[in-house]
Every structure is written in C-alpha cells, then in structure tokens.
Structure 1
C-alpha cells in the first residue's frame, strides 16, 4: 500500500520491480488508504507493507500509521520522504521510529537502481514473510492428525533455522505424496508426525532432535579426523562468534549444538539495538548469517545431539579434551563452553502440565502465529520478554506482560519500554506472579496474584509465554571446572585462588581447566545481552591461540 498525495505515481514506478510477487495499491490520503485496507481485508487479502510519504493531506503521518497498524498489525511500515523534505522531517519522525511507531525512515529514490533503498524494502518484506502463518516458499512439511506440543516444537525449530513450514492433515494430497516417498524401512506411526524437508528423506519424528539429526547429521556420521584445534559447545551468539573468528584465523573448528542454531537469541522476533542493524534484525536471521559466515571459513556444525560429558585432557600433558555425545566424540586441543542458559521453570504444577499445549518456555515464534485474535500472557521483565510481547501483539487480541518488579526500568532496555507503551494491545501488570493455569486439553485461563496484597484474579489466556530468567545449561561439565553458587562457570579473577598459577589468575575468559574457556551467558558475571555474548565469543579466540602456542603437542590417534 503506497500512500502519497504528491508522489503516488513515483512510488508506484519505484516499486514496479515487486509487481510480480506483490499486488501494488496506491492511495492519496490516510482516509483513502483505510478504505482500501477495509476492501482488501474483506476480500481476504493480506497487506505486507505500508509505504507512506512523510506528509499526508488529511492526517499526521504518525496518526495515519497508528490507524493502519490497528487495522493490520502484521504489516511492516516505512516512511519514504522526498529528498527536499528528508532532513526537515527527520528529527520528530526518527524519535517516533525509536518508539516502534514505524519500522524505517527512507529517502525516496531519485533514479533507477537505488539498491540501498530496495535493500531496506526487501529486509522489511523478508521480515514480514517470516512471520505469516502460511508462507509461500516451503522448505519443510509436517503431517499429523492434529497440531500438538511436539508439532509446534518442530515448527518452531524450523522457524529458528530459517526454514518456512506448513502443516498438513494425513488425508491431504501432500501427505499422500510424502507417504509414497517414505523409505521402505520406515513405518509410519500415527502417534508421531511425519516430517519432510527439501534436504532429506521424510522421517517419523519422535522429538525435535530427530528432526535436527535428519537434516544436519550426527557426530558419528561426519568424519572428524584426529584432533581439532577448537571445539565450541553451543551455537548461540557467543559460540557462533567464536566459530567465525576461530575458523577465519585458521583454526580447525567444530561446533556442537543440541537444538536450533542461535540459542535463546534465535527466538527473538526483533533485536533493534544490535550494532550495525539500524532497522533491527530478528534473532533467527542474525544466527543464520553468523552460521553461514562460519561455514564459509570451514567450521563444521553438528546439530541435534546434546553434549553428555566434557572430559578434560588429563592426566597426561598434551592429551586432548574430549567432548562426548551419545553417538560420537570430538577430540579438541581447546574447548569454548558457550552452551548458554535455559529459562527458569515456573514450578506451578497445573501450568507445567500444559507445556506444549498453550504454555511455552521462551518466545516460540510458531505459537505466536497460532494465537490470532486470542488473549496472551507473557511473564518476564527482560528484553526477551519485551520483544516477545511486541511480536505477539501483531497477532493476539491482547497481550498482558506480567512482572514481579514494580516497573520495567531496572531490567528492560528503554527502547523496548517505549515500544510497549505505544502498543495499545499490550498491558503491563507489575508486582504480579502466575499461581495457576487451567484448560483441557489446551490452556484457557491463568490465575495471577498481586505480590503486595495477595489478591488473585483469573484472566483468559490461550497462550502463556514464560521468560523467567536464566539457569545455566552445563550439566555436562566436570567437577574440575569451577562454578558459582548458581552453577555459572567461573573465569579469570573470579575462579578460586587455589586454582591460580604462581599467584596469578587465569586469563579473563579461561576456566579452572587449562585449555577450556567460557563465553556468553554461561559465564558467571556475563551481561546477558546478545552484543556482549558476541563480543566474548570473538575475544576468546586470541586466548585460544595463546593456549595452543604454549601447550604441549597433542597426542593423536
């Protein structure tokens, strides 16, 4: 939807390259655009993007965007200012962009092939395309009688891997085609979904790990000769950064990840404060770009098997560290622990019983799309919870953000607080906790308790998203790696002085085991921010180089 009184024809001409895949409509005013939107919605059409002149004849452009957002919350929004007004209109409009009132402020192209302009437009369209319930370009298909907790987990895994999916009933033509292509040795099981992807034969999936292994292979299926220079445990921002910088500097590098690439950051619908992305970037895209970058430098990724044990290279000096999984081991001269954290459990039995049936730990992207027109509760006061609430507000009728603290200011970035305040579908409820949940078979309601008065209230909820803070994910660590009282890995000056060598602490990101380092959220005292984790992941590589240069020759098979 291209809206401008003076430049409608110019915009239509500039957007002509999209005419093959999108229908282009123009309007000359806010009222005309709203009327067009109502007709399109009545016809069943969806709107991907509003692109508006910075000035309209009948309304302030921000008022217009507010009306359009109320009509089509999922559409992306861009202001395209003519060159003669670009600077004069910028100051107040950019302040509004910081509060999430629209997505991009662009200069109207002044000639053909303005690729900087179109790069911004395609970014917005790509972001929209990844959030629609039924994407056009399908890379995976899931066949099952009904959607349940497992099918939603599998769809969410594919979403985080950047692989659009669709769900099909067993009696559909697509399902019959997939069944016909099943390998002879594979027997369908009605209890579990069939999963087809463009890169592998269909499988009967009993878990998300089954899907991950079918696509990416397991450690025993991939040749890792001898001893690698660097093994990275975890493929969140810290692990990905360590892989990119390690492999680019000539280290043979292996990354092991039990789930989807990106870790918790991969579930973020939009990260707006990551350096170098002025329009923001989803956690999935950031993670996939980093993975592709690491692959380009030669990193090997093994996805789908959690690490069961890290065995330090002892007792003989020069023995490699061994990273063990259920089906294979990786032997490495140096190890970076970047396994990240998991969301803390709520601990309410009635709520835990509904996990996968309306209750989600983390910001499940697929579940958000299934909640169109429903009521949702998000629990948590950090940036992840704020991003989840803003994303859910594109689909849900209402989003209630529940926090224990008196305000969001202590734990959430200012830009997110402003965006939440601007979004009328989001209500913030402070000094509150979840004490009960009910529904059969799916979540229907949540009971909340005021932590000051003890008063309880029950609210309707088709979705409950729990982002309750961090618990370390490091059950595989040996006792020789020191942790704090919460289980986070100690590094540098924080390690016990009994582990210091000649009165000196280990290097900043080094653990109590020589040659084993920790980076990102798993590390005690880390900032719990994507940029901070990426910085630690890149900073650990010089320490790895120093260790490899000084350590004895590694014993090889």
Structure 2
C-alpha cells in the first residue's frame, strides 16, 4: 500500500558538527525529510512552518553545545540547552528530543546535562558517532522513531480498519485494545473506499444491510467482524480455550498476562513446562497501558508498556506458551489428593498440575452518575493512550497519585492544552516515584491539585466538564475538560478464587508466611509464593504485600517457576 501521509521531518540542529550528524542521518533520508539548521531558533521557526503546512516533525537532534549563556551551577562549557529544548518541545510537543555530544565534550557535558534527562527535559543523551556503522547510536534513534510512529503518527499501513459512522464507546474500546496489542488501526467512515469495499465483502458473503451493525472491524485477511463487545472481538481473533490441543493436563496455567504472568510464561515454557496463559483483557495487563516506563532495568531510554508486553509475549511464544485472551476465568476448582486443578472459563476448561494467579488489579470505580454514564466517551479507566491524539488542544484531568497517573499525565501533556492531576492527599511524594514527580514539576502544561476530588461530571453526548470539591472546605469548582482519566486505587481481580485460597481484608491473596498459622500444613507455612491450596500460587499485584511495581512483578513471575518445578518433582513428574 502506498503511504498517503506526508513525509515526517527529522530536524538536526548542529552549528559546529553538522557534517557528522547529517552524514549519519543520511540512512533515514529515504523515509524522512532530514533537514540541517545551525541554531535552535531556526529549528523552532522551521518546525512551526512544517506543522503549519500539515506535516509532522518526528525528531529534533541537537548538539550538546549551542551559542548562548552557560547554565548556572554547571561547568563553563555547559551551554544553555534547556530553554532551547523547551521552545522546541513547545513548538512540537510530540517530537522526540535527542541531544548528541561531540566526543571531546561528552564527559564534561554529560555532567551538566544528565539532570535534565532525569527530569524529562529531553528523551536521550548520546555520544555522537565517531565513524560509520555506529549501530548502538542508530539502535537508540530507531527505538525513539519507532515509539513516535506507534504513538503519534497515523499508521502508514493499517493492520485493522474500524468502519463506523460515529466514534462511540465500543469503537474507542476496540481501538484501545488494538493499540495495546500493537495492531496499527484506522477509524474510517462507511462511505470511505475501505468502508465500501468491506460492505461489498459482507454482501458477497450474504450479510444483508439490515443485519449489519457498527463498528465493523476488518483485520488483515480475516472476514469482516461485527463485535458487540471487546470480548467478542478477542474470541473472533484469538479463539476459545477449548481449542487448545493438549493430551490431558498441562503443567501450569498462568492466569493473567501482565508483567508477572508474562515473566512466569517465559520462564516456565523455557524450562520445558507445558504452559498455557489466560488473559481476560489485553496482553500486558495494567502495565501495558503505560505510555513510557523509565525505571525498568535495562531500558535506559524507557519502554512503553505495550512494547514491553509484546516483546515478552514473543519470548513466551518462542518457547511454546499458548495464549488465550478475552476469556476471564470464572472459577478455579482445586484438585483433591494431588489431582489436577481445573481452571474454568465460559469458553472452556483447562486442567493443570499447577496454577499461577497473576490476575493483577483493576482501577477502583468512581461511583458518580455523571462519570459512570460517560465511560468510553470522555471518561476512561487507565491511560487510554489511543484517545490522546483526539484531545489535542483540550483540557484533560487525571485522577490518581500513583506512577500510572504520573506516566499518563506526562504522555497526555504532549497533546492536551492543559493537564490537571487531582489527588485527595496533600502531595505526591508518598505514592509516586521521584523521577516522575521531577518530570511533572518541570512541565508547565501540568498542574497538581491536592486535597481535591471529582464529585460530578456532565456534557452531551461526550464529556464536557467535571466538578471538583476541596476535601477540607467542601468548596466546589467546575472545570472544562474533554478527557477524565481515572486511576484511583486498586482492587484485586480474584473474586473467582475458591474460598480455600486465603485473602486479606482487602481481597489480596495471602502467600507464604503471610498465611494465617491456622492454615499452615503440619506447622509449616506454604512456600514463599504459594497460597493456602497446594499447587496454587500468586504473583504480582494480586498478591498481598507485593510492591506494585513492574520490576517486582516480573521478579515474582520468574521466582514462582522453581516452586512449580519442585511441586512437579515431588509428584514424580
């Protein structure tokens, strides 16, 4: 398919070493318009002209030294990049910002400029290539361009088309699912060429116009799909659990495909265990909705939750894990006297020698009529990255004080005119990582409103306003907004577990020494990640006492596999 999108630009700002950078970026010239300028002012003017002409700037690449005053408190060679970078980000908030230091300056400039990287003033600080084929440099550039392309640019080639005359809540939910599983998608009208072609395909297959309903989803070479729920689409795309081909019993069923479940999937299948992973929503769980995770080990430039999840899924598939998505588990029936456990879904049941519960948590619902009525049409639980582009120039409200809320606010600020974070506490320090707080503090688009809660919302048919209340004085204030993103605490998603699996007062699963002594077996507590039912384990956010961080969830997912091996060994398998 020939691209209909204007060629995006890479603007290189290099007053001193433009020849080096321009030569290095020559490899991108076939698919990007690479332009060299000698000052930040010229880059800003050019960027505004590009945007004004309806085109996009994908990336700014700036030398670490520009003409100007030194940064206060830095070495004499540390030049005033921050104000220049701030103006560039103001001109094109979605463009990636890269600072490249000439090798003679790298050590000195990194000391002066790395604090700005930690605060999110730009996206990457790198050593300028010293010769040809510096693939470490280009790997970083390609990763940044890939993130830009996935989050910002309209797809060059869509993997799915959503045909609908109106963007209702179902359309937006399907679009969000597509984005989270990494399928490029485009929403088109029924009168478009694609819409007409799909209508003809439905007619050829005998589907009368009266029997059609929107949205119609066209995915690759599949026949047109007409789901009434996101769950319907998952079934049509990924099959039912009873489709699985196993002899009688699998070694382990993992319930949930967030970071903990994915890590368990990779390590279990790589160790030769017959592994099935069930996910009720999209691969990645709650973490999969994060626009950028910057504190995960091994990813110095950060990684989006979607990409992390898809890479982990790919690893697990390589080792033989079978995935079924869109099928919530409705019950687990413990085996008796060493018999296999049964995992029950509406689409079929599976038997397993071990069960790992990695179901994660869900955001707590805000029980307000004006909010509940507009879920999917202005009100969203989680970051809903897919709708961010639709909110360009609007006012947005994020409710929550955790890392997910901070990541969502930073991402939304690249599109929205303003972002307001609403929290009931007096501040963010108790609930959010320091690096995110630092990024929020330097972004003029983002405002934090402490001691505040949302008490009402309205607008027809989409959300148009919310009402705040001061938790101390009770004073109310109406705030214009087109997007309300709710991340207000976590509830464990495990009501379907049998009563024999002990939980704390909030519903989180108890494991190891946290299990009440009355439930210990022969005076011995269960193993560290084992529940009160032998052979059923819990990892990640659903487990009582977990850290509620991506890295710790992944660690628990990996750590549970030796426990499963021990269980199977004791059973003689």
Counterpart residue number, 1:213:
235
Write the distance in 2 (CA, Å) between the matches of 1:450 and 1:430.
9
Superposed, 1:440-459 pairs within 5 Å as 440-459=460-479
Shift of 1:34: 1.3
* TM-aligned CA distance change 1:443 to 1:246, over 3 Å: same
Counterpart residue number, 1:373:
393
SS in 1 for 2:283: coil
Are residues 1:460 and 2:470 paired?
A: no
Superposed, 1:3-402 pairs within 5 Å as 3-58=13-68, 60-132=80-152, 134-182=154-202, 184=205, 186=207, 189=211, 191-198=213-220, 200-314=222-336, 317-402=337-422
Write the distance in 2 (CA, Å) between the matches of 1:484 and 1:551.
30
SS in 1 for 2:504: coil
Shift of 1:216: 1.6
Could you report, residue by residue, the CA deviation over 1:473-525 in whole angstroms, capped at 9, with x for unpaired residues?
A: 01221111111111111111111222111111001100011000000000011
Counterpart residue number, 2:433:
413
SS in 1 for 2:329: coil
Write the distance in 2 (CA, Å) between the matches of 1:377 and 1:111.
47
Could you report, residue by residue, the CA deviation over 1:183-229 in whole angstroms, capped at 9, with x for unpaired residues?
A: 72655655431111125322001111122222222112332331000
Could you report, residue by residue, the CA deviation over 1:110-161 in whole angstroms, capped at 9, with x for unpaired residues?
A: 1111110000000100111111252213111100111011111111101110
Write the distance in 1 (CA, Å) between the matches of 2:514 and 2:100.
51
Out of 485-494 and 172-181, give the one that drifted further: 172-181
SS in 1 for 2:88: helix
Structure 1 unmatched ranges of 5 or more: none
Out of 530-539 and 196-205, give the one that drifted further: 196-205
Out of 305-314 and 293-302, give the one that drifted further: 305-314
SS in 1 for 2:484: strand
Are residues 1:428 and 2:438 paired?
A: no
SS in 1 for 2:225: strand
| Contact 1:318/1:552, CA 8 A, preserved across alignment | no
Write the distance in 1 (CA, Å) between the matches of 2:246 and 2:141.
42
Counterpart residue number, 2:505:
485
SS in 1 for 2:111: helix
| Contact 1:31/1:58, CA 8 A, preserved across alignment | no
* TM-aligned CA distance change 1:533 to 1:199, over 3 Å: farther
Write the distance in 2 (CA, Å) between the matches of 1:199 and 1:295.
22
| Contact 1:133/1:369, CA 8 A, preserved across alignment | no
Write the distance in 2 (CA, Å) between the matches of 1:480 and 1:185.
51
| Contact 1:359/1:465, CA 8 A, preserved across alignment | yes
Write the distance in 1 (CA, Å) between the matches of 2:221 and 2:251.
29
Write the distance in 2 (CA, Å) between the matches of 1:33 and 1:80.
16
| Contact 2:212/2:226, CA 8 A, preserved across alignment | no
| Contact 2:213/2:226, CA 8 A, preserved across alignment | no
Query: In structure 1, which of residues 475, 483, 487 is the aligned counterpart of residue 495 of structure 2?
Result: 475
Out of 34-43 and 130-139, give the one that drifted further: 130-139
Q: TM-score, normalised by structure 1?
A: 0.97
| Contact 2:254/2:357, CA 8 A, preserved across alignment | yes
Out of 512-521 and 176-185, give the one that drifted further: 176-185
The ranges of structure 1 where at least 4 consecutive aligned residues each deviate by more than 3 angstroms after the TM superposition are 185-191
Write the distance in 1 (CA, Å) between the matches of 2:268 and 2:208.
43
SS in 2 for 1:181: helix
Out of 143-152 and 175-184, give the one that drifted further: 175-184
Counterpart residue number, 1:495:
515
Write the distance in 1 (CA, Å) between the matches of 2:246 and 2:239.
13
Q: CA RMSD in A?
A: 1.3
